Structure 1
Amino acid sequence: MREKIKHFELFIKSTDFDRGVRLGVAISVPFITLYFLGYLAYAPAVVIGAVLNTPGDIPGSTKRKVNAILISIGLTMLITAIILFSKAFLPLLLCTLATISFSVSLISVYGFRASLVSFSGLLAMVLAFAIEKESPREILTQVALMGVGGLWYLLLSLIFQKISPKKDKNQLLSDSLLLIGSYLKLRGKLLTQKKKRDQLLRQTFVLQNQITEKHETLRETLLSARKRSGRSRYEEKQLLIFVSSIKIFELIEAKYLDYKVMDTLFGQRKEFLKAAKKLNKIMGNHLIHLSELLIQNNKIPPKKTLLNALENANEAITKYIETVKLPEAREGALVLKNLYDYQELLLQEIRAIRRVMANVQNASKISLKRKDSKQFLTLQEYSLDVLVQNFNLNSTIFRHSLRLTLAIVFGYLLGVVFDIQNTYWILLTIIVIMRPSYGLTKERSKDRIIGTLIGAVIAIGIVLITQNIVVYGVLAFISIILAFSLIQQNYKSAAALITISIIFVYSLMNPNTFEVIQYRVLDTCIGATIAIVTNYLIFPRWEASNLKQILLNALEMNKKYLLATQELYQDPTTQKISYKLARKEAFLAISNLNASFQRLTQDPKSKQQEFQLIYEMVTLNQTMVSAIASIGTFVIHHKTTAASEEFNRVVLKISNTLEISCDHLMNKKNEKIITARHTEVPNDSLLNTYQKLSTQRDENIRKGNTELDLTTLHGLQEAYLIANHMNWLQSLSENLKKTTESYQQSLKTALERS
């Protein structure tokens, strides 16, 4: 019960509910104000204008949000006017419908925020069919009032932001810590759960993508909103938490272990990994708790549990050495020690977040130059060239725009031919459900239909209990607020609430409520069916065909990241910014690859071409970026020796191998294949330093000198980690080369057969 109360409290204090309340205020205030002023007839137009422009109100830069809503206001006004003037002439209306559908949906090529503006435009086009205005004066009045409604919502959004300026950023930080905590716990499970490892790895792909998306939004919000006067104390705290969350995520990524080696090393001795696994779980739960405290503002939990778990992980290393005995235990002990060091660094960052949240006076300060911070922002290009580049059938958005246009025109004609009462309900379902990928469209269709049926059943039950229009009005108002609050979290529940709201709104105008329910359910099913069938049959773009370019980008970013790590190893003092930029780009590329793979799994089985090869390439790329991150993180946090000639030669070999993999995907030959053959490095050459240090250590033990000084320990750690990770990277790159070659060959064979 306490958990349910806590989750309810978190929901009430969330920005999702805040936006639902904002919409409720945007709807109610015009009705109440214009009622008392005697102009109630104008209220619906103002409210429509406000509702149409809510999609662009998302967290991020205030300047970009204002620009997006202003563009949305102009677009919705223009589209509404065009549709209303065209309604009297069916041929003109069909041409207008097709032109607007295609051109407006194509705006999505400019990124996520642009896609929300596009949705507002499409929504305005559909709702224009519900507006009964015929004379030019009536139409222009309607459009002007909608503009007023849009500006009213923008003003309201800015007022809410002024009242709670920290809320959006805190929510994003909270979501980020929650996801990272869940990810950390999942990575702990990978240590021991060999049988479920494949399933767990797929879950990590989803979480990695979600975390990266949150961090991108936070970068835009926190790094682009700096004032000339500097940051406030609270903004400094938010930035500190954000930086620590990035470090934690990167540390988790950097400890992507070679689980095959782990299984071989520890075999039946997995109990020595349980302390590290438990530490991951405790740290993950602590991050989740801290994420809740950013919203609830309660007391920070004690750190004793964290410190005890860290101590237990350290003791597990000693117990392992005592049980297995040196020198046999050395390799496993070094693996455990390296793992412990990373977990200790994770705990330091968690404690840094604790100090910031506890308002400790001597908490760290951020020293980030504006010039440097700008480099970490992913800027969206808005030039006409972007549109021109996407104006072909190879573009996913272009294909989606064509499909959506055909679906909307067909849906409208169907309504005209069969004289369907509210044809725009069909069109509304199509634009809400239809997405560029078939899998997501199918999933949303299912949720929409189930949600509509649930909403209809609830509405029927309420109608049978009461015939009170006041009850209908109150329930319609509450439902729309809750629906808007849940639309990102639970689309099925949101669809049910939207249905309830729409049914009761129409019930206020039409006494035959059951007829309204019947048409609502029927039109939703028709619209969902059109969306699914169109996505499957018309210009289908299955994710398997999109993956090549995304894979290519991941390979190229991994190569740049490897070379940046090589530079860092050679000069750790001056290469940190270039290294961090390369790391960010590599993580983004892997996140995009993971997202693409998730979309692939939602496609029909028959369209998942070479699924196993793709999964292998995704996993290899993910493992490679983590192995590189592991080396970079070690170099940053340890005093290391100079990079050896063998290290540089192996980097060159791996780099060349990755380039060959890129060439395989692009189906071209590369002279680097010859070069790569002359960069062969024996697998044991990198282990020479480790073996020498091990021999010296064994000799000291035989002489009775069992004390291990820090210099020798760090030397053994560095030699072991660098040697094994570079050999691991060689193996990964070779496997990638083979897999990409097989993948390209299979595509070529499939093309020849067709």
Structure 2
Amino acid sequence: MRNAKERNITLKALDFNNQDLADAVRNTITVIVPFSVFFFLGMPSAAMGVGTGTLLICLTDLPGNRAEKMFSAWLSTLTFSLLAVLISLLVSNIYALPFVVGGLTFLLLMMTSLGQRMGVIGMMGLGVAAFTIGLHPTNPLAYGMYIAIGGIWYSLVSLTQAWLFPYHSLKRALARTKKNTAALMRLRSIGYDMEASLAGFNAKNIKLHLKLTTDHELVRRLLLGDRFNISFEDISGKQLLKESILLIDLYEKVSALHYDYTSMRNTLAGSGILEKIRNLIGFTADKLESNTPVQANFDEFIAEIHRLTVASEKHRDLVAGIVVNLEETGALVFALDDQRDLDTKMLSKQFPAFLTEGKISFKMLKAHLTYDSQVFRFALRISLLMMAVVLVVAMLPKGSYGYWLPITLIVISRPSYGMTMKRNIERVIGTFAGLIIGWCLIALNLPIALQLCIAVLGLFLFFGFLLLRYWVSAMGITLAVVLCLSIYHGNTTQILSERLLFTLLGCLIGLAATFLFPVRHSFNIKIAVQQAISTNSDYLSAVINNAHQDVIQIKLARKQSYLALSALNEAISLVAREPKWKRKELRTLRQIELLCFQVNALTAALSIADKDLSSLNIKPIADLNYCVEKLNEMQHGQVFALMPLERLDGQLNLSNVAVKLKTIFSAS
């Protein structure tokens, strides 16, 4: 029991869960098996081709339902095999190859406009082109077949898992949602700790909100996007559907725990109530992540808070609303394990309304065929870079590992300067670490079998940390590549030096290229602010006008508000990461972002209040709409000229927060 608990603590520290671990092991084995089989059969070319196909198609396997995985499997396999054959045919033609690769790069990156899954397939298609240039296959048709075999092999494994365990991706998404919801609850508990500092509280709060918005969006897509799962006839499916809906409602309850903590601390100091509330929130968070706490202990906490409240009549009104929220939060958490009442009140015909990303349409692609599109500018930039880089690689002597240059460029390039810089730093750190460890292991002259086992461990690190700690992932794949190539080719010095050289060169080129057809993130700020305020207004209106009537309408409005807040935070973050000479003053925008999150949290508290809201003062809605109207009159650059408020303190209620927003825009 103790070992299991220690293992869970370790995984939690690494931001891992059991599903992440299982997927990393599966991916590692799936890549190693065909590579090993063909290699030991004396077919090294087949081993490299099948291994490459398996690895790259593995990276396109995003979380999704069975229909999405099936679509991704056949499209990836077909696209990659055709690319492999085409590039193989032209790999010796130094004049045609750069132009063909440049044109294909543009087309593949434009696939991003069709959604995340299509974008990943396009990006990995570039990986196929880069590896093909490096491997320089002599038989194009055979190489294309090997790539296809690798894709089919991985797809069979992935689809078999999806059919045998249809809710694997959903369980994984729910586990992460529970983890982040519990983290938000623990952050809330800090507000009730007299000794804890509130410095950085709002920034951490917003960060967790963004994580949960992403988590719930994935859960909705997994729940609602598969025709196989839409009926949820079996008990497991119904239980997961119930958990998903309860977690969405729980998110709203936890959001409503946001109060003016400074004022509350001053009011309740010395009463003992703050400590009990803090302990109860922590207890509930522990229950959410594990099944250890029991209902009886929760009831004891509630009873103790009631006793303290009765003993202090002046605190009764203040604490009453908090206690109701805590009781309802606890009820939702304990209901997650309840196997009864599995029939949801949500109708199947209402499901599609909650999906953000619809079906693939070429109208989506057409909308981005303009120079103003971020996708278009990024695709144009990388296509020109790939043309130049491929031309350089084609002129390098045979036996060089120059293909690491385009691979590095593909891996680290992002639309914005800040994102590319972050990826660069992680790539360089991981590569240095992998090279040093690899050099030490090779110098020790370890047995080949042991070196191969360490290479497999490196591949596991690559898969396990690809989305969590990229520098660890880069270290793992560098270690695996260095050891395998050293065993196979033996040119250790060349391998180490060229890996370092082409990685650094690729990082520098990728970073410098962000100024070629730069993505103008500042142009998105006005729209993001407008959407955040507008959706908050719609959410508040839905709560007031549909209280206790149209619950679905409120949930839809809440979802749109969360997504808009997430988009606003991302837009501000991208502008903040621009080069120093291009950065704008963001204090006012940070204030607007905070106020928008406060409006959202206060609206969530209203939506769960058990009282008539029809007579509620609607002036906050009018103030929010005023802000939207002022934004309509502004040019993009004028948003950065808004003057910040000197102070943001005061009572934390809808009227006060909405007035603060209005004051910011009134001064424009």
Note the alpha carbon deviations across 1:703-730, whole angstroms, 9 max, x for none. xxxxxxxxxxxxxxxxxxxxx98xx333
**Residues 704-723 of structure 1 correspond to what in structure 2 (within 5 A)?**
none
Letter in 2 for 1:311: A
Counterpart-to-counterpart distance in 1, 2:384 and 2:202: 39
Deviation of the 1:425 alpha carbon: 0.4
Counterpart-to-counterpart distance in 2, 1:348 and 1:514: 63
Change (3 A) 1:533 1:173: same
**Superposition TM-score, scaled by structure 2 size:** 0.90
Contact 1:563 / 1:651 at 8 angstroms: preserved in 2?
Answer: no
Which of the residues 342, 357, 376 maps onto 2:325? 342
Structure 1 residue aligned with 2:119: 115
Note the alpha carbon deviations across 1:184-218, whole angstroms, 9 max, x for none. 11122234579943512111212111111111111
Change (3 A) 1:88 1:36: closer
Q: Describe the SS at the equivalent of 1:141.
A: helix
**Residues 245-256 of structure 1 correspond to what in structure 2 (within 5 A)?**
245-256=247-258
Structure 1 residue aligned with 2:642: none
Letter in 2 for 1:190: G
Counterpart-to-counterpart distance in 2, 1:306 and 1:522: 59
Note the alpha carbon deviations across 1:365-394, whole angstroms, 9 max, x for none. 323210122222223352222222222333
Counterpart-to-counterpart distance in 2, 1:270 and 1:91: 80
Which of the residues 387, 398, 409 maps onto 2:387? 409
Deviation of the 1:150 alpha carbon: 0.9
Counterpart-to-counterpart distance in 2, 1:398 and 1:198: 41
Note the alpha carbon deviations across 1:336-377, whole angstroms, 9 max, x for none. 211111111101101111334xxxxx3553232101222222
Note the alpha carbon deviations across 1:570-616, whole angstroms, 9 max, x for none. xx23x211121111111221122233334444444444412101101
Deviation of the 1:36 alpha carbon: 7.6
**Residues 69-80 of structure 1 correspond to what in structure 2 (within 5 A)?**
69-80=73-84
Note the alpha carbon deviations across 1:257-313, whole angstroms, 9 max, x for none. 2446546x62866854332222222222322335xxxxxxxxx44344433333333
In the alignment, structure 1 residue 643 sits paired with structure 2 residue 614: yes
Deviation of the 1:42 alpha carbon: 2.5
Counterpart-to-counterpart distance in 2, 1:614 and 1:46: 50
Q: Describe the SS at the equivalent of 2:337.
A: helix
Counterpart-to-counterpart distance in 1, 2:636 and 2:172: 45
Which of the residues 341, 354, 359 maps onto 2:337? 354
Counterpart-to-counterpart distance in 2, 1:631 and 1:9: 37
Which of the residues 408, 417, 440 maps onto 1:429? 408
Which of the residues 334, 351, 358 maps onto 1:380? 358
Change (3 A) 1:591 1:191: farther
Deviation of the 1:506 alpha carbon: 0.8
Counterpart-to-counterpart distance in 1, 2:600 and 2:409: 39
Note the alpha carbon deviations across 1:238-259, whole angstroms, 9 max, x for none. 1122122111111111233244
Change (3 A) 1:423 1:380: farther
Deviation of the 1:649 alpha carbon: 4.8
Note the alpha carbon deviations across 1:422-476, whole angstroms, 9 max, x for none. 2210111111111223222211211111111111111111112125333333322
Letter in 2 for 1:553: Q
Structure 1 residue aligned with 2:572: 597
Structure 1 residue aligned with 2:628: 659
Structure 2 residue aligned with 1:83: 87
Contact 1:479 / 1:500 at 8 angstroms: preserved in 2?
Answer: yes
Q: Describe the SS at the equivalent of 1:567.
A: helix
Note the alpha carbon deviations across 1:591-644, whole angstroms, 9 max, x for none. 22233334444444444412101101111111111112211111xxx2x34622
Change (3 A) 1:231 1:598: farther
Structure 2 residue aligned with 1:687: none
- Identity score, percent: 21
Which of the residues 441, 449, 452 maps onto 1:470? 449
Contact 1:664 / 1:740 at 8 angstroms: preserved in 2?
Answer: no
Deviation of the 1:491 alpha carbon: 1.1
Change (3 A) 1:661 1:313: farther
Contact 2:50 / 2:148 at 8 angstroms: preserved in 1?
Answer: yes
Counterpart-to-counterpart distance in 2, 1:469 and 1:475: 10
Change (3 A) 1:623 1:642: closer
In the alignment, structure 1 residue 240 sits paired with structure 2 residue 242: yes
Contact 1:472 / 1:507 at 8 angstroms: preserved in 2?
Answer: no
Counterpart-to-counterpart distance in 2, 1:502 and 1:565: 56
Q: Describe the SS at the equivalent of 1:375.
A: helix
Change (3 A) 1:605 1:38: closer
Change (3 A) 1:162 1:37: farther
Counterpart-to-counterpart distance in 2, 1:199 and 1:429: 35
In the alignment, structure 1 residue 48 sits paired with structure 2 residue 65: no
Note the alpha carbon deviations across 1:139-169, whole angstroms, 9 max, x for none. 1221122112211211111122334444332
Structure 2 residue aligned with 1:539: 517
Structure 1 residue aligned with 2:198: 197
Deviation of the 1:739 alpha carbon: 2.6
The farther-off stretch of 396-405 and 653-662 is 653-662
Which of the residues 532, 536, 541 maps onto 1:554? 532
Counterpart-to-counterpart distance in 1, 2:461 and 2:605: 44
Contact 1:411 / 1:530 at 8 angstroms: preserved in 2?
Answer: no
Deviation of the 1:527 alpha carbon: 1.1
Structure 1 residue aligned with 2:34: 30
Note the alpha carbon deviations across 1:533-589, whole angstroms, 9 max, x for none. 222x223335443222221211221121122112124xx23x211121111111221
Deviation of the 1:227 alpha carbon: 4.7
Contact 1:654 / 1:729 at 8 angstroms: preserved in 2?
Answer: no
In the alignment, structure 1 residue 149 sits paired with structure 2 residue 150: yes
Contact 2:624 / 2:661 at 8 angstroms: preserved in 1?
Answer: no
Which of the residues 624, 627, 632 maps onto 2:602? 627
Counterpart-to-counterpart distance in 2, 1:643 and 1:567: 7
In the alignment, structure 1 residue 734 sits paired with structure 2 residue 659: yes
Counterpart-to-counterpart distance in 1, 2:608 and 2:40: 65
Letter in 1 for 2:257: K
- In structure 2, list runs of 5 or more residues that go unmatched: 639-650
- In structure 1, list runs of 5 or more residues that go unmatched: 291-299, 322-328, 357-361, 670-723, 746-754
Aligned length: 650
Counterpart-to-counterpart distance in 2, 1:121 and 1:282: 48
Note the alpha carbon deviations across 1:383-424, whole angstroms, 9 max, x for none. 222222222333222222233223333433454567692221
Letter in 2 for 1:108: T
**Residues 693-712 of structure 1 correspond to what in structure 2 (within 5 A)?**
none
Change (3 A) 1:502 1:493: same
Q: Describe the SS at the equivalent of 1:143.
A: helix
The farther-off stretch of 545-554 and 621-630 is 545-554
Q: Describe the SS at the equivalent of 2:403.
A: helix
Contact 2:534 / 2:624 at 8 angstroms: preserved in 1?
Answer: no
The farther-off stretch of 624-633 and 462-471 is 462-471
Contact 1:658 / 1:736 at 8 angstroms: preserved in 2?
Answer: yes
Note the alpha carbon deviations across 1:53-72, whole angstroms, 9 max, x for none. 11221222211121122212
Letter in 1 for 2:74: L
Structure 1 residue aligned with 2:558: 583
Letter in 1 for 2:629: I
The farther-off stretch of 511-520 and 453-462 is 511-520
Counterpart-to-counterpart distance in 2, 1:375 and 1:617: 29
RMSD: 2.9
Q: Describe the SS at the equivalent of 1:53.
A: helix
Change (3 A) 1:267 1:160: closer
Change (3 A) 1:273 1:423: same
